[in-house]
Structure 1
Amino acid sequence: MAITKIWPVKDSLNRVIEYAKNVDKTENPDFLNADLYQVLHYAADENKTRFERQYYVTGINCAVETAGQQMQITKERFGKTGGTLAHHACQSFKPDELTPKACHAIGVKLAQKMWGDKYEVIVSTHLNTNCLHNHFVINSVSFIDGKKYNERKAEYQRMRDTSDALCREYHLSVIENPTKRKRSQGLYQAEKRGELTRYALYRSDIDEAIERSMTMKEFYDYLRRKGYQIKGKVDSCALKLPHYSRFTRFKTLGEAYSVLQIQDQIYRQRGPEVREKSKEPILFFVPTPKKLQIEDILGFGEEYRKLRNLYRFFCYQLGIYPKNKGQVSMSPIIKEEVRRMEEISQQTIFLCKHQIDTYEQLKEKQKEIQTEMDGLLNQRKKLTNKMRRAGPEEKEVLRQEKMALTKQITEIRKDLRLAFGVEKRSLDMMKSLEITREMLNKEMQKNKEKQRYR
């Protein structure tokens, strides 16, 4: 299974090439596992460059060592040095599905079929993550006719189709029906940090409703009692809480949370005897609450409800219906307020820790944290450059130093995020106070006018 992406590069050509050829990500593990004689022989040969260790970097229509200069010469030859400098593409595979050698071979074949006839391309395989992935740096100007590469939707579709064909050739899995909906990066990072996002809140309440429902009507009624608003039919069924402005479709929360999947879960958690004897129609719509039920019209409403409640009681006692496990059900609005309170608590601890009392002190602290973080980022960049030229032992020492710097940067980033959060909250409070003052002034003026009139 391969996922493909492509995007333009407009800031620096050398930056994206150096990123693709990064020694720490493309270094051949076979070299590191070589015997002592080979390593000593390699170290003693001063004529060899660091590029020979980059087994998983290949140049198409250009040399790896001088790819940046060759691409720039092509641009100058046709007088097209501005605008988009290159295109950066990525091809990522499923974890533990193939070897680095096969991954790189697929990447090279993909680059040759896509751009090999007209463009200079660097292909590199990164091994530093759980998912092996190929990076492609494509020159934006063709060395054949000087035409610029047009990154349009049809071209991306061709790249995806070519990648899928190569995956089938190498007997790898392929995504047959890819989802077109993209998840926002902010939401993805928040869920990765374990924060209680809107989607996580919806999922937990839906799971709770599924566990405590035996029909779709009970499922929807349970969510309504928790404060949710629900609308739509199967494909477009959506829900939202009152303090959110937009509805969210069930299927947006994931495949397991589509209406059909939820219905299937509710149906499966009933016992087999209940499934066989149940004649209740399958509800594919959100039922609207009615003030007058049919049993009330026929005149036996109260007796019928008592009999139904008694039947359900015995079903719970016999274990046909799942029993309540005793969890305390918390309102989704309260959950949202708890999340906000945790955020405010962290910001309060930050203010007390640094003894910040005024807005000016907060801005000074922001500048101080930003300066400190920039310094650490520069140090880490220097260590990365040293690691590219260091030997195995020195490289391990530098890696440990780099990890320590990364931990410091992570902590400082948290403080910076808290500082900006305090600033935003303070500005929002000031705006609210101004609006309140204006409303009070208007009320006072109205009262004065009324008194004068009287």
Structure 2
Amino acid sequence: MAVTKIKPIKSTLSRALDYIQNPDKTEDKILVSSFGCSFETADIEFEYTLSQAMDKGNNLAHHLMQSFEPGEVDYQTAHEIGRRLADEVTKGQCEYVLTTHIDRGHVHNHILFCAVNFVDHHKYNSNKRTYYNIRNISDRLCKESGLSVVVPGKSKGKSYAEYQAEKAGTSWKGKLKIAVDALISQSVDFEDFLRRLQGAGYKIKTGKYISCRAEGQERFTRLKTLGADYTEEAITERISGKRTRTAKAPKVERKGVTLLIDLENSIKAQQSRGYEQWAKIQNLKQAAKTMNFLTEHQIEQYTDLENRIDEITTASEQAADALKGVEKRLTDMTLLIKNIATYQKTKPTYEGYRNAKNKEQYRTAHASNIILHEATAKALKAVGVSGKLPSVPTLQGEYVKLQEQKEALQSDYWKLKKQVKEYGVIKQNIDSILRLSREPERGKEAER
């Protein structure tokens, strides 16, 4: 779990930067990173960007903190999550310094980013909406790294898989199923089974149906709701050896038979056994929608559907990679434009310093501009820019074209992502329909 909070820096910017870069907290500054600036001169570079602000306001920077559950994450992973969080929040348009502190019981990140972006020099608007966006990004990054996420209304974090399962109402049932399956093999009869289940920490409620509740669970769960193998009668038979647990349904494979005909036959079979059983999995309206989709997209075989899903998934991944590539070029270009513009503006001052008779006195009087010029010269050299500098207006024109390309790629990506989801739902519906029609046969096989 990572808890986030953000606060504005209205004064003492250099002091705030010094605090988050404390060598004793950051493994002697090994866990210090920056973007759009050098962390050694971040205060001067922030101030230069702030001097070009288009909006009023007294915020110099924003201090974003991200704290992890004790013992849940190593500092390298925490630092990488912090970098990705900073990149998404600032969108590659604000200088920032990121540090990871490891001096306490829990690893935590500090992200100090400039209140003004260096692209159009507008200020970052910190409010409830932007904070919720930060929290959502942090949760997603934690989920992608296998960490826990913050569950709304709860103080304790849960793993993402556990949160999703509990949200779907399956977490407690899943644990109960595991407990029941394990205890059946140890029990001599149903009463012994209930005693063992109680000993495992479950409260038992008897009546028309047997219900159980684990510690921390709000409501009782009826055993029969776990499936046909978990009714009182089925458990008794499983204990005595007269019944074995129904095997998991095999993967559905369709060859040769037209998929639409196969679906129609399966639905008819469900209706002949009773609509109630069928309605628990899919209703007829959803089935009709599925069949219409197959007709509209000219999908005749199950393998055709799988091939189409593979094609769309591949196209979606390629679009995502292309989009990331354009976003990376946009970020590189914004930094290049910023550094060239700063270099050119500070060049006269720096040349005056080089020609000054009393260099020490001149440097003291013009320290900020000299430091900025040296920092931007170093940054340009790092990306291979030397000699005659590229034209800023030309770069800005290329930036506009890249931005248009990005918007087109985003549109394609979201369309493909929507199709991937749509085809996934259709496949899930088909698998459910075809699998249902075979359940009675599997049940008969299990009883033999």
TM score, norm. by length of structure 2: 0.34
Higher RCO (Cα < 8 Å, 6 or more apart): 2
TM score, norm. by length of structure 1: 0.34
